[in-house]
Amino acid sequence: MKKIAAFCKDIKTKKSFQYFVTTVILLSSLTIGVKTYSINQNIYNFLIFADYLITIIFLAEIIIRFLAEKTTKDFFKDGWNVFDLIIVIGSLIPASVADSVLVLRLLRLLRLLRIISFIPELQTIVENLAISLRKSIYILLLIFIITYIYAVVGTTYFSDIPNAQFKSLGESMITLIQVATMSSWETVLAPIAEVSPLSWLYFISYIFICGIVVLNLFVALLVDVVAAQRIESNKNN
């Protein structure tokens, strides 16, 4: 058993093996993309065959990674191993079944995310984003409070204006989210500005507070997390 573990570990650590699996992951995503086009039956049958072959390769790869670990606990201790295992299990669903169920088809598309576990730089980005999201809950709460206040004000003063997207509190909040992203926000302002010329102050102030100041706090938080992770990594090295 130790010889098998050593053999699997040797395969797992080889760059050529990692490049091979990464290539298979990309090919897997490519086959799913091709299926969105109108293709003849022969090509479709070939894609089904390729899907089965890719599934076998993924299964063999996850078994190699499992056997390369000293204990089962060591395998499941790594979150990326668990992530890959879930996707591989989803891939075991036959293509003929998966294609008839949208959710299962999307599960197969998630294979592309496996590439993250093979590229350390992508792992670092995802891990830093996850840490940032956990720490950003109060920023999200602040955005919600500000948006809620502006939505109440908007509904109170603009609900009677024709074509204004502030007829209810819910609609007002959705409209303000659009304004914060600055996606065609001038079309939201136009009908209101015709009736209330000073309404631009309402929109500009909201964009400045939520769309610029508060959202930039996310960037600052992410930079802080990356810097902290880099310092910790240097200490460990």
* 2-118 and 135-236: identical CATH topology: no
Residue-wise pLDDT tens for the chain (237 aa)?
Answer: 677 878 888 888 888 888 888 888 888 888 877 877 888 888 888 888 888 888 888 889 888 888 888 888 888 888 878 888 887 887 776 555 544 445 556 666 777 777 777 777 777 777 777 777 777 788 888 889 999 999 999 999 998 888 888 999 999 999 998 888 888 888 888 889 888 888 889 999 998 888 778 778 877 877 787 777 777 666 665
Task: Tell me how far apart the alpha carbons of residues 195 and 189 are, in angstroms, rounded to a whole number.
Answer: 10
CA 68 to chain CA mean position, Å = 29
The CATH class, in words, for 135-236 is mainly alpha
Nearest to 48 by CA among 84, 98, 110, 115: 98
User: What would the DSSP string read from start to end of the chain?
Assistant: -HHHHHHHHHHHH-HHHHHHHHHHHHHHHHHHHHTTS---HHHHHHHHHHHHHHHHHHHHHHHHHHHHSSSHHHHHHSHHHHHHHHHHHHHTS-HHHHTT-HHHHHHHHGGGGGGGGG-HHHHHHHHHHHHHHHHTHHHHHHHHHHHHHHHHHHHHHHTTSTT-S-SSHHHHHHHHHHHHTTSSHHHHHHHHHHH-TTHHHHHHHHIIIIIIIIHHHHHHHHHHHHHHHHHHHHHH-
In the chain, where the domains are located: 2-118, 135-236
Looking at residue 173, its pLDDT comes to: 93
Which fold is adopted by the domain 2-118? Four Helix Bundle (Hemerythrin (Met), subunit A) (1.20.120)
Looking at residue 33, its pLDDT comes to: 79
**Is the pTM higher than 0.85?**
no
